[in-house]
């Protein structure tokens, strides 16, 4: 255990549990993983394992892995999945595009995705990083309305 690691349970554990489940805020989840990694307790290790196994954003799974490894846990590095982080994304984007006027702009589409499905928007923003806007624009362009 490093000097920075504390053997107790953090006083704000219930808040950290809420933050780790905030689907619409990958940055908050990443910050939570960083904070959990400062504590070596059964509860914090369980939460980090939960993140490593199931978070939709790969960088969060990877950060949880690093924190668990730093805490001395025997864990295998997560692999990047080729699956969609959120099932049915293409259908969701199609429905959103259909709901807009025919002459809408990409910016209109992006804002409506953000407004209607912040969880989807945030997850893909976290997963795609700097390529997010290009990915969303390509997705918008590829949707052909009949």
Domain ranges of the chain: 13-70, 89-142
Mean predicted lDDT score pLDDT of the chain: 92
Q: What is d(CA 121, CA 111) in angstroms, rounded to the nearest whole number? A: 10
Tens of pLDDT, residues 26-83: 999 999 999 999 999 999 999 999 999 999 999 999 999 999 999 999 999 999 888 8
Tens of pLDDT, residues 2-21: 446 676 788 889 999 999 99
pTM (predicted TM-score) = 0.82
Local structure of 29: helix, strand or coil: helix
How high is the pLDDT of residue 83?
83
Q: What is d(CA 119, CA 85) in angstroms, rounded to the nearest whole number? A: 11
Q: What is d(CA 69, CA 85) in angstroms, rounded to the nearest whole number? A: 24
Tens of pLDDT, residues 78-137: 998 888 889 999 999 999 999 999 999 999 999 999 999 999 999 999 999 999 999 999
């Amino acid at each position: 255990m490093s000097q920075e690691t504390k053997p107790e349970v953090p006083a704000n554990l219930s808040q950290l549990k809420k933050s780790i489940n905030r689907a619409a805020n990958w940055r908050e989840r990443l910050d939570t993983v960083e904070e959990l990694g400062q504590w070596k307790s059964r509860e914090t290790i369980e939460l980090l394992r939960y993140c490593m196994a199931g978070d939709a954003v790969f960088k969060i799974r990877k950060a949880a892995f690093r924190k668990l490894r730093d805490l001395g846990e025997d864990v295998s590095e997560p692999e990047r999945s080729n699956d969609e982080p959120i099932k049915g994304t293409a259908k969701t984007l199609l429905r959103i595009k259909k709901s807009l006027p025919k002459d809408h702009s990409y910016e209109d589409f992006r804002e409506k995705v953000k407004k209607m499905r912040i969880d989807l928007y945030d997850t893909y923003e976290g997963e795609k990083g700097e390529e997010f806007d290009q990915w969303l624009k390509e997705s918008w362009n590829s949707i052909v309305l009949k």
